[in-house]
Amino acid sequence: MTLTQDVATKVTDLTYDALPEHVCDKAKLLVLDLVGCMIAGSRTRGAVQLMPHLTTTDSGGCCTVFGTSLRFHPGNAAHANANSASMLTLDDSYVLFGHPGSSVIPAALAVAEEIDASGKDLLAAIVGGYEMSLRLGAAIRPSEKRDREVKGLGTWQIYGACTAAGLLHRFNAEQMADAYGLVPMHAPLPFLRKFHSRPMSLLKNNYGWANKGAIMAVDLVRTGFHGNRTIFDGDDGFWVMAGSDRFDPDGMLDRWGERYFTLETGFRAFGVCRWIHTSIDALRSILARQTFTRDDIVSIRVETVSEFVRDFNGPWPESTIEAAFHIPYALALELHDKSSSSGLREEDLADEELKKTAAKISLSSDASADEKFYAKKLLPARVTVALKNGATHSAEAEIPTGAPGGPAFGQAEIEAKFLSLATPHIGEANAKRLMGDLLQLEALSVRKALQFCVVA
């Protein structure tokens, strides 16, 4: 068999009953976390601006558009929900590989709701999506030099959504290979090296389109279309299309059923880019040990990865999207008791006192941090606070809160995060009922689990 056929066979052999219990438990928390992000994210400017376009092209579907009273067909529902999920920058994260939840769960939920799948089938499809997506990302990870030239996430993460949708429709290996062959025709280009230009695009990673394109590829197979069944094979395989300069085909098949990338996916405690979180953790560590006010601060120096210094500084942000990629802004929020833990707020962009504090924060690159970032997928940051009394206080962090091996962010914190995001939009009673149903997905149908997604 070809590599593509081997991968399709591995994927389609995946069932709920074959999954370890702790993997299913993690999948339920990932669903809960992302549903909260989708509900709250639906009220942001980027989500609100997209909705009229989708509304004009859809009506009468059966799939939930979280945070609204709308119902769309699966492709448009997944498009809207994935876009909303990323707006607050609180969706889950896998270091160097983006945000797998936003490129798997919206498509899985939409298709599962359409066909009224069981919660067990939904969880298996989501795990399959994470495993396929992240294995592919690892297999086509480019060299450091190439990564600095060309970078894209939705480009290959579309395969996670495609896998989840195909599993829910009970594709066999041949159908899944067809879908994999059609997916690149619907994938976003690897555009991220231009993302940090101003103004930043509200589409971010364009996960909305990736979810929609994946569902379209699956639906085309259902109507009889065929795709290239050797899409991962050879020197002209998908890895080249995605902009990479190397490919490890064995990595796509390695340790299926033993290693679960799903378990290695982290939750985000702060509503800014994951790469900024260790700077926040380091500052919080200092604040927990020392007593001083922001008026006592002369300066704050952040030593971190050169790429972060280049991209996460610069002019004062003009939107919450730009603010999510701005280290001085994120740290200033902490010092003004305006943490990004529930997302960023438009009104804070006009806070002059926040600007004054951010002006005291400078960034510098650290060669050892670069090495740890590219070679070990760590996010090193050292924060040093200099005070007017002459004292200096420093702290370091390499693994962010919520990531495996980092400061804990467990089920209690994820539940609290969900309630803080969902309650203002669907009410406390519905939020608690929805949370309870999502945490027992294996015992419910998907439509029943989503019955309390009612806008307050």
Q: Do 257 and 290 reside in the same domain of the chain?
A: no
Q: Encoding tokens for residue 153?
A: 């996430």
Q: Do 126 and 234 reside in the same domain of the chain?
A: yes
- State which residues of the chain have pLDDT below 50: none
Half-sphere exposure of 401 (CA within 13 A, CB side): 21
Residue 1: the pLDDT is: 83
Q: Do 230 and 257 reside in the same domain of the chain?
A: yes
Does a structural domain hold residue 413? no
H or E, element range at 386? strand 381-387
Q: Do 326 and 180 reside in the same domain of the chain?
A: no
Packing angle between helix 119-139 and helix 105-115, nearest 10 degrees?
150
Nearest to 401 by CA among 272, 287, 260: 272
Any residues with CB less than 8 A from the CB of 118 and at least 6 apart, and which?
444, 445, 446
Does a structural domain hold residue 174? yes
Residue 456: the pLDDT is: 72
Does a structural domain hold residue 74? yes
Q: Do 424 and 366 reside in the same domain of the chain?
A: no
Chain position carrying tokens 């050892």: 368
Q: Are 155 and 187 in contact (CB under 8 A)?
A: yes
Q: Do 209 and 337 reside in the same domain of the chain?
A: no
Nearest to 102 by CA among 140, 20, 46, 57: 46
Q: Do 256 and 302 reside in the same domain of the chain?
A: no
Q: Do 59 and 109 reside in the same domain of the chain?
A: yes
Does a structural domain hold residue 412? no
| Domain range enclosing 391 | 274-397
Q: Which residues of 232-264 are buried (b: 16+ CB within 10 A; e: fewer)?
A: bbeeebbbebbbbeebebeebeeebeeebbbeb
Does a structural domain hold residue 54? yes
CA atoms of 11 and 5, how far apart (whole Å): 10
Q: Do 127 and 150 reside in the same domain of the chain?
A: yes
Does a structural domain hold residue 216? yes
Q: Do 256 and 353 reside in the same domain of the chain?
A: no
Q: Do 72 and 151 reside in the same domain of the chain?
A: yes
Residue 449: the pLDDT is: 96
Q: What CATH number did the domain enclosing 109 receive?
A: 1.10.4100.10
Q: What CATH number did the domain enclosing 352 receive?
A: 3.30.1330.120
Does a structural domain hold residue 177? yes
Residue 96 Rama label (left phi>0; alpha psi -120 to 50; beta): left
Q: Do 347 and 427 reside in the same domain of the chain?
A: no
Does a structural domain hold residue 411? no
Instruction: State the DSSP string of 241-305.
Output: HTT-S---GGGGTTTTTT--HHHH-B--SSSS-GGGHHHHHHHHHHHHH----GGGEEEEEEEE-
Number of structural domains the chain divides into: 2
Q: Say if residue 199 is preceded by a cis peptide, omega within 30 of 0.
A: yes
